[in-house]
């Protein structure tokens, strides 16, 4: 009965029919294989449409209106591109985008450099390396809510261990080390926490990259009397680069929408110093209740992330093909 034209789903549907007890199979027999296949994927498709696709289209629709979720009885009017124009001309929103860019750039730089360095060390397979790997991975296993809360205590100028350690090393009084309350230090405070938490993740991906490099390439390089430095730059980095780039992509997307940790640590403050785009969006949507405008803001963010990620993936593919 089977032909080479049959799809995998057709085969799967037939297998299900064969495995189904007689009364049900009898009823199912009336349906085509394609119908049965649809029957099985329908719940997933329905959920996807309800949870992802519909809200996206709904948000696009709302972004062209003056709808406010806290005014259910108000007349909803079409405002054309008004919300988009306002979002793109709002200096506060651009300030939040700058804050996000600062945060994303520095966290990626630090996490990539430290993460790769750690992966390189762990890859040496020294004695006890499994123990150290586990230890390094712990921060990434914690909940961001927990991390945010305990770093808030660590940063406390009067009782915090961080302030105490910095004071001990630098001689600056602890009361002067206001990591979360000082406009110059607060952006770095959240960068430090994010780096502490997510560097292990970058390390894991880099480690996978390093372990994927075949030993014979290094052996050939040694035969050619290539120095360790030369091997590092000509073999290790180029061959691990797709993995590093993948880690950068993941962390970039994650940090572009960073909310929980910043919200817990600074709430966007002091003033608006650490108000990243997601915090600004939340304020617009659920504090100012400007649903239409915040939908436009969300679409702008979505397009920006989607566009940048697409360009990046194309570059990544080119690097992989080299």
Residues in the site for another protein, rule: CB under 8 A? 66, 69-73, 92, 155-158, 174-176, 178, 180-181, 183, 263, 266-273, 283, 286-290
Tokens standing for 72?
């259910």
CA distances from 44 to 38, 101, 230 (A): 10, 36, 51
CB 99 → another protein: shortest distance, Å?
Answer: 12
CB 287 → another protein: shortest distance, Å?
Answer: 5
Task: Write 274-281 long-range contacts (CB < 8 A, 24+).
Answer: 274/99, 274/103, 274/186, 274/187, 274/190, 275/95, 275/96, 275/99, 276/96, 276/99, 276/100, 276/103, 277/93, 277/96, 277/97, 277/99, 277/100, 277/301, 278/100, 279/96, 280/92, 280/93, 280/96
Nearer to another protein, 193 or 203 (CB): 193
Nearer to another protein, 177 or 210 (CB): 177
CB neighbour burial string for 149-183, b if at least 16 within 10 angstroms, e if fewer: eebbebbbbeebebbbebbeeeeeebeebbbbebe
Distance separating alpha carbons of residues 255 and 246, to the nearest angstrom: 14
Nearer to another protein, 49 or 288 (CB): 288
Side-chain-side CA neighbours of residue 182 (13 Å): 12
CB 1 → another protein: shortest distance, Å?
Answer: 34
Nearer to another protein, 39 or 88 (CB): 88
Torsion of CA 122, 125, 130, 135, to 10 degrees: -30
Nearer to another protein, 84 or 120 (CB): 84
Tokens standing for 217?
């390439």
CB 68 → another protein: shortest distance, Å?
Answer: 9
Distance separating alpha carbons of residues 120 and 143, to the nearest angstrom: 27
CB 289 → another protein: shortest distance, Å?
Answer: 5
Q: What stretch of H or E contains 165?
A: helix 161-170
CB 146 → another protein: shortest distance, Å?
Answer: 17
CB 154 → another protein: shortest distance, Å?
Answer: 12
Nearer to another protein, 96 or 236 (CB): 96
Nearer to another protein, 176 or 222 (CB): 176
CB 92 → another protein: shortest distance, Å?
Answer: 8
In the block, tokens 């962390």 appear at 251
Nearer to another protein, 144 or 200 (CB): 144
């Amino acid at each position: 009965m089977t032909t080479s034209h049959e799809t995998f789903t057709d085969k799967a549907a037939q297998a299900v029919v064969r495995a189904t007890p007689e009364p049900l199979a009898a009823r199912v027999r009336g349906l085509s294989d394609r119908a049965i296949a649809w029957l099985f994927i329908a719940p997933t498709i329905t959920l996807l449409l309800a949870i992802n696709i519909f809200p996206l289209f709904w948000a696009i629709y709302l972004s062209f209106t003056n709808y406010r979720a806290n005014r259910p009885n108000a007349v909803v009017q079409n405002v054309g591109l008004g919300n988009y124009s306002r979002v793109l001309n709002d200096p506060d929103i651009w300030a939040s985008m700058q804050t996000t860019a600062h945060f994303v750039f520095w966290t990626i730089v630090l996490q990539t450099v430290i993460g790769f360095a750690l992966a390189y060390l762990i890859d040496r397979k020294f004695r006890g390396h499994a123990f150290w790997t586990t230890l390094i991975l712990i921060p990434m296993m914690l909940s961001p809510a927990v991390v945010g809360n305990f770093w808030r205590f660590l940063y406390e100028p009067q009782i915090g261990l961080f302030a105490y350690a910095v004071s001990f090393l630098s001689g600056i009084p602890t009361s002067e080390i206001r990591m979360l309350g000082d406009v110059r230090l607060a952006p770095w405070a959240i960068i430090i926490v994010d780096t502490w938490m997510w560097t292990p993740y970058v390390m894991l991906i880099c480690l996978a990259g390093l372990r994927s490099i075949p030993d014979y390439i290094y052996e050939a390089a040694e035969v050619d009397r290539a120095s360790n430095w030369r091997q590092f730059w000509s073999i290790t980095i180029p061959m691990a680069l797709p993995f590093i780039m993948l880690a950068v992509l993941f962390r970039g997307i994650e940090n572009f929408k960073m909310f929980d940790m910043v919200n817990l640590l600074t709430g966007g403050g002091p003033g608006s110093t650490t108000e990243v785009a997601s915090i600004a969006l939340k304020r617009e949507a659920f504090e100012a209740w400007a649903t239409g405008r915040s939908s436009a803001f969300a679409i702008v963010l979505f397009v920006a992330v989607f566009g940048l990620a697409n360009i990046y993936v194309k570059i990544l593919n080119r690097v992989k093909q080299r």
